[in-house]
Amino acid sequence: MYAGDRYPTELRNGDPSLLGEIEEQPDIDEGDKMTNSGVKMTRTIQIHYCLKSPGGNYETIAEYIKGLGTWAHVHESLWFARTGKSVSTVRDELNKIVRTGDRVIVLDVTGDTWGTNFTDEITQWMHQQMGTVPVAA
């Protein structure tokens, strides 16, 4: 399980030495948002991936995302997470896990409006972590 600044030591392209450790992040990343008091802001990020390689590292990716902070697994390869890390940092760390040819997109959706055609534990998480949007009739 992901803990601290390390991710699980599972194979990447068949060679465990390629996985390594996630580098400890400096206090301020170029993409970091800061409060007036100089404290790093927690943001909501959306992560989507398409694992094109056979035997993709789905479990490793899931453990990494769950280690970011509070999270919601919306669909098979779509997640939301609350984290202090920038989107570029999360992208770079995921790139150390995915295989050549796999695709990853990380978006900062902090404060964005949203809507769904369903209500469940995922939308409850979204209401709590991302705010609310009026439900269409």
pTM (2 d.p.):
0.67
| Structure confidence by residue, pLDDT tens digits, 22-73 | 333 334 444 445 444 555 679 999 999 999 988 888 999 999 999 999 999 9
Q: Which fold, 16-22+32-130?
A: Alpha-Beta Plaits (3.30.70)
Domain boundaries, the chain: 16-22+32-130
| Structure confidence by residue, pLDDT tens digits, 79-91 | 999 999 999 999 9
Output 108-115 pairs: Cβ under 8 A, ≥24 positions apart: 108/43, 108/44, 108/45, 109/44, 109/45, 109/46, 109/80, 110/33, 110/41, 110/43, 110/44, 110/45, 112/44
